[in-house]
């Protein structure tokens, strides 16, 4: 039986609240979705400032976290309600909302005195109070409690929607962080390879904001006009995360503003366009190396389907194509879907699995000891 649902995603790029409305029926490999509406609602400068303060050791405090959790919940709920109104879909037709939340901090390994953990803000009960329907949120903690890293979670949905008996493909998201799901033709769940590869837009966007007062490098035009700063590139490529083996995950606490600002200061005598070029080359090469090390040494790869905001950076995709000349490079748009839509849609599907009491983590992707049901449910009466 078809249900109408809403999926909400606010990623590490901080480029807006993605809201998708879709009908959904079936579970697991029988899942079928039909997209009804999609829109990205921009975050205000004020909320971006508070989110970044919450991500910074020097400015974060308990009152900020407490308040921001509710503020984001109301913002997510308002965005979902507005999307429904603009699409002409009455709220009483929405049977549930699934919200990823805004990641504030992610610790992928126990490191005394801190335990492996992940914090997403955006209170589910606040969303439920606006949408007047059950809300599934806080997806990552159940996987962590069973020994996983809580990420990546989207590979489960990639498997449901994109596995193929004839084509070996990778689904690659270029958000703030870069991550992929490799699906060998005819694969089963336990065959999937998935991990974060490092930053995608995160460091490039920060450098554009600092150096050009622009939110991002549109189409990679600035990067394309620059030249490589070899010592900066070599230092970036020596980052220890790149040498780790999957399963692995990362976030803004590793590749965020603090690291980017350090490199901007260290190489401040170089041209600004050369810094953007070098950061773009770093993103591209870290992706290329990940495929060569973790996939292509032992497995066939026919195509990579890119999604997320970075899929709009044509120069970045050009660099990746140069590094992987035998692989067909596509974007989600080539399959009739907006490249920005996939993660919001993924959590809509994960929420559906949760409500049907189905586990939806992939052990090989997250490193968990067992399959678990993800998410917490806020009911509404």
Question: Please, what are the domains in the chain?
Answer: 3-150+343-378 (3.30.420.40), 155-335 (3.30.420.40)
Give the per-residue pLDDT at 381: 79
pLDDT digits (tens, 9 = 90+) for 62-109: 999 999 999 999 999 999 999 999 999 999 999 999 999 999 999 999
Is pLDDT above 90 for 123? yes
Is pLDDT above 90 for 13? no
Look up residue 240 and give its two tokens: 């220890």
Between residues 155 and 381, the one the model is more confident about: 155
* Average predicted confidence (pLDDT) for the chain: 96
Give the per-residue pLDDT at 146: 97
Q: Cα separation of 304 and 247, whole Å?
A: 20
Model pTM greater than 0.85? yes
pLDDT band at 281 (very low <50, low <70, confident <90, very high): very high
pLDDT digits (tens, 9 = 90+) for 311-357: 999 999 999 999 999 999 999 999 989 989 999 999 999 999 999 99
Is pLDDT above 90 for 152? yes
Look up residue 206 and give its two tokens: 């920060």
Q: Cα separation of 124 and 127, whole Å?
A: 5
Q: Cα separation of 64 and 207, whole Å?
A: 26
Give the per-residue pLDDT at 112: 87
Alpha-carbon distance values, 307 to 114, 272, 284, 329, 335 (Å): 33, 27, 15, 11, 11
pLDDT digits (tens, 9 = 90+) for 362-378: 999 999 999 999 999 99
pLDDT band at 1 (very low <50, low <70, confident <90, very high): confident
Give the per-residue pLDDT at 12: 84
pLDDT digits (tens, 9 = 90+) for 20-79: 999 999 999 999 999 999 999 999 999 999 999 999 989 999 999 999 999 999 999 999
Tell me the mean pLDDT in the region 191-220. 97
Is pLDDT above 90 for 358? yes
- Quick one: which of 364, 332, 327 has its CA closest to 346? 332
Give the per-residue pLDDT at 234: 98
* Range list of H helices, the chain: 45-54, 62-87, 124-131, 141-145, 155-162, 202-212, 221-225, 230-237, 240-243, 252-255, 257-266, 272-294, 314-323, 342-355, 363-366
């Amino acid at each position: 039986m078809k249900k109408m649902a809403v999926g909400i995603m606010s990623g590490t790029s901080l480029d807006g609240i993605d809201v998708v409305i879709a009908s959904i029926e079936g579970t697991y490999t029988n899942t079928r979705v039909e997209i009804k509406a999609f829109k990205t609602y921009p975050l205000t400068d004020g909320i971006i400032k508070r989110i970044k303060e919450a991500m910074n050791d020097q400015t974060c405090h308990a009152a900020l976290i407490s308040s921001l959790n509710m503020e984001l919940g109301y913002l997510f709920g308002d965005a979902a309600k507005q999307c429904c109104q603009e699409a002409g879909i009455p709220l009483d037709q929405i049977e549930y909302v699934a919200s990823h939340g805004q990641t504030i901090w992610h610790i992928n390994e126990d490191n005394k005195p801190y335990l492996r953990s992940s914090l997403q803000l955006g209170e589910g009960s606040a969303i439920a109070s606006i949408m007047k329907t059950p809300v599934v949120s806080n997806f990552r903690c159940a996987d962590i409690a069973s020994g996983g890293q809580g990420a990546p979670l989207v590979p489960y949905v990639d498997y449901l929607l994109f596995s193929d008996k004839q084509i070996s493909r990778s689904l690659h998201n270029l958000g703030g962080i870069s991550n992929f799901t490799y699906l060998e033709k005819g694969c089963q769940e336990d065959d999937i390879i998935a991990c974060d590869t490092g930053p995608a837009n995160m460091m490039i966007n920060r450098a554009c904001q600092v150096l050009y007062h622009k939110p991002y490098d549109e189409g990679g035009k600035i990067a394309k006009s620059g030249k490589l700063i070899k010592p900066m590139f070599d230092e970036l490529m020596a980052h220890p995360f790149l040498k780790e083996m999957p399963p692995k995950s990362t976030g803004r606490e590793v590749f965020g503003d603090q690291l980017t600002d350090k490199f901007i200061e260290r190489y401040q005598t170089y041209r600004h366009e050369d810094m953007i070029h070098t950061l773009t080359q770093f993103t591209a090469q870290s992706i290329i190396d990940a495929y060569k090390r973790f996939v292509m040494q032992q497995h066939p790869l026919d195509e990579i389907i890119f999604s997320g905001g970075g899929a709009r950076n044509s120069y970045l995709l050009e660099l990746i194509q140069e590094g992987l000349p035998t692989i067909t490079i596509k974007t989600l748009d080539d399959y009739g879907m907006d490249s920005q839509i996939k993660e919001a849609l993924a959590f809509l599907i994960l929420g559906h699995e949760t409500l049907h009491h189905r586990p939806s983590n992939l052990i090989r992707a997250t490193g968990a000891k067992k399959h678990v049901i993800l998410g917490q449910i806020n009911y509404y009466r």
